[in-house]
Amino acid sequence: MRETSATICKQPAGAIVPAVDLRRCEGKGDCVAVCPENVFEIRRIDAADYRGLGALHRFKLRVHGMQVAYTPNAQACRSCGLCVTACPERAIKLTRAR
């Protein structure tokens, strides 16, 4: 039997939000595939975020197509943790919303 987001999610929407470490993220999209709340999107890294990275991380991003995960719907997160488990780079952590 497949669990629904209501049975696997632990918090009300918006209490906990995912934080993506852009120094680790390679934009593979595993987080997009597993998130029951459609919190993530994979897209080209923003110019400001790119400039804030060190040379090694900028090079790594170029190798991986300049794609990273962003969380435009972070307020929908219900803290199921599937994204944290699915991310092969360990680039996602769940944090308390501010």
**Sign, Cα dihedral of 70, 76, 77, 83:** negative
Write down the pTM of the prediction: 0.84
Domain residues of the chain, as ranges? 5-96
Residues near 40 by beta carbon (within 8 Å), at least 6 away in sequence: 18, 31, 32, 69, 70, 71, 73, 83
CA distance 97 to 84: 16
- What topology does CATH give the domain 5-96? Alpha-Beta Plaits (3.30.70)
User: 28, 37, 44: which is closest to 74 by C-alpha?
Assistant: 37
Binned at pLDDT 50, 70 and 90, residue 15 comes out as confident
pLDDT value at 1 more than 70: no
pLDDT value at 93 more than 70: yes
Cβ 45 vs Cβ 66: under 8 Å = yes
So what's the pLDDT on residue 7?
53
pLDDT mean across residues, the chain: 90
